[in-house]
Amino acid sequence: MATPEWRTPEGWEMQFATNHLGHFALTLGLHDALASAERARVVVVSSVGHVNGDVIWDDINFHKRPYDAWRAYSQSKTANILFAVEAARRWARDGIAVNALNPGRIWATGLGRHMTAPPESFEPGAGSGVSVKDIPQGAATSTLLAASPLVEGVTGKYFEDCQEAVPHTPGLRRGVAAYALDPQAAARLWQISLDMIRTRS
């Protein structure tokens, strides 16, 4: 999260490569095993940070513009949701459910190691509707999507606080942005991601 301007050997921006491309490639590699299982589930961890911006379609790797650590993080988290949307569509016939989630803001992990101190928005009682949680609370929505019968058959959705997220309202740090659920954008990102990982191999 919010790393310095790091790049992979291929020149890919590190947050997009780590938060999206790596998981995309891994899940594609596991597809056949998932399809052979009964009612397999894929859980994609995104973030409320996705509401800060869509994928930068004409400059995903920040080759044309100055690097912005938070903008890069936001696009990687939007990419997580778009991946869930397209994987859910493609793999529905295989019985694979794919959902994304916001675990909440959890300072007590290594995720914020590139920040010198917890921002106010990580403190209990933070404004703008933000979900500030400890580690067990932060794991709850992932656990729900991975194992609960309550979400059996649910796919292609974005969850927070153990329920499907409402549409994002500007000014609030909650909900899901419309662009993150756009099926055309999801299909576009899928092809871009495929092209990137194929170029590497």
Active site residue ranges? 73
Bridge partners (DSSP) of residue 102 are 160
- Identity of residue 139: A
Compute how many other C-beta atoms are within 10 angstroms of the C-beta atom of residue 38.
5
Query: Contact at 8 Å (CB) between 99 and 148?
Result: no
What is the C-alpha separation between 201 and 192, in angstroms, rounded?
Answer: 15
CA angle, 65 as apex, 195 and 10 as ends, to 5°? 35
Nearest residue to 176 via CA among 163, 189, 187: 163
Q: Are 93 and 38 in contact (CB under 8 A)?
A: no
